[in-house]
Chains A and B, each alone.
Chain A
Amino acid sequence: MGRVVVDVMPKPEILDPQGKAVAGALPRLGFDQFVSVRQGKRFELEVEGDVTPEVLDAAQRAAETVLSNPVIEDVVRVADIEADAAATVESEGLA
């Protein structure tokens, strides 16, 4: 079972009211080092087999046509999360 993760964020020029509200709440809990917050969305798309380049391509198209609205949002990541995790472990092992 493969999984593709799609991250969608509000465009930088669009005010993010939810992020602003979260940013306002953080200092009240003592987290005063964060000067701004932007809130996005993460989708996890599961497929039966492996995450092939075709699957990633389909995920990219789905991200741009359904999962995001290009007027207000940017697709910032479309990735095979298992492969990403493996790559991270590998790079940490080398270090």
Chain B
Amino acid sequence: MSAAGARIGVITFPGTLDDRDAARAVRLAGAEAVSLWHGDADLHDVDAVVLPGGFSYGDYLRAGAISRFAPVMEKVVDAANGGLPVLGICNGFQVLTEVHLLPGSMIKNDHLSFICREQPLVVENASTAWTNEYEQGQRIVVPLKNQDGQYVADEHTLDELEGEGRVVFRYDGWNPNGSRRGIAGVTNARGNVVGLMPHPEHAVEAGFGPASADGPRSGTDGLTFFTSVLAYLVAA
């Protein structure tokens, strides 16, 4: 398949905030963005799916806990188990843990405050469907904005993730939320499902991203997520 023909679905739940930014990131990467509705149990033949950030169902019960039961999620789980690339950003990551596509969970930040900052990350795994165009060990900066961003899992799970190279991103320098072992993002065993708390879709276009060496708001480090998945689809 060619990258231009790729269709990437972006799911909207009640309370999702970043679906339009995610769709824009998909288009800037050169693919077609397809809006998917939480209540529609149909993925409309997309080649990949993004679960964007926000506060689906107001974070009631637990962040992502109610979205997990949305009709569209049953299809996402089936497709993900079949190899479909799935990316969960922030609240989308929380949904992926609640639906057990990714291990662990997120609890309230250790300092109890909402945090919004330009977050340096280290790419720990540059071979997933969503990170294959980064370099292993590359340092990138994308926005981070959340209240329940502290990644937790039991020690056994953490050791397993580390041992299998499934930690995809780690916070570089200061740990902004108390996440275990500084983990910012993880992947499944197959490498097609990735979840992270920071927001790559907010760093895809010069003029609207975080600061970079080229000046204020010039950072576009997040775009590589979306070009990576296109490269993955073309190669598949």
Contacts and interface: CB of A to CB of B under 8 A. Distances in A.
State which size class the interface on B falls in.
20 to 34
Interface in B142-173: 150, 152-154
B107 to A, nearest CB: 6
Interface of B, secondary structure class, is loop
Interface in B179-229: none
Given A69-B105, A71-B97, A71-B105, A14 B152 contact: yes
A71 B62 CA distance: 12
B112 to A, nearest CB: 5
A37 B69 CA distance: 32
Contacts of B109: 17
Interface in A44-59: none
A17 B112 contact: yes
Contacts of A17: 107-112, 150, 178
B108 A72 contact: no
B120 interface: no
Given A18-B112, A71-B153, 17 more contacts: A10-B107, A14-B107, A14-B152, A17-B108, A17-B110, A17-B150, A18-B108, A66-B61, A66-B65, A69-B62, A69-B65, A69-B98, A69-B105, A71-B97, A71-B103, A72-B105, A72-B152
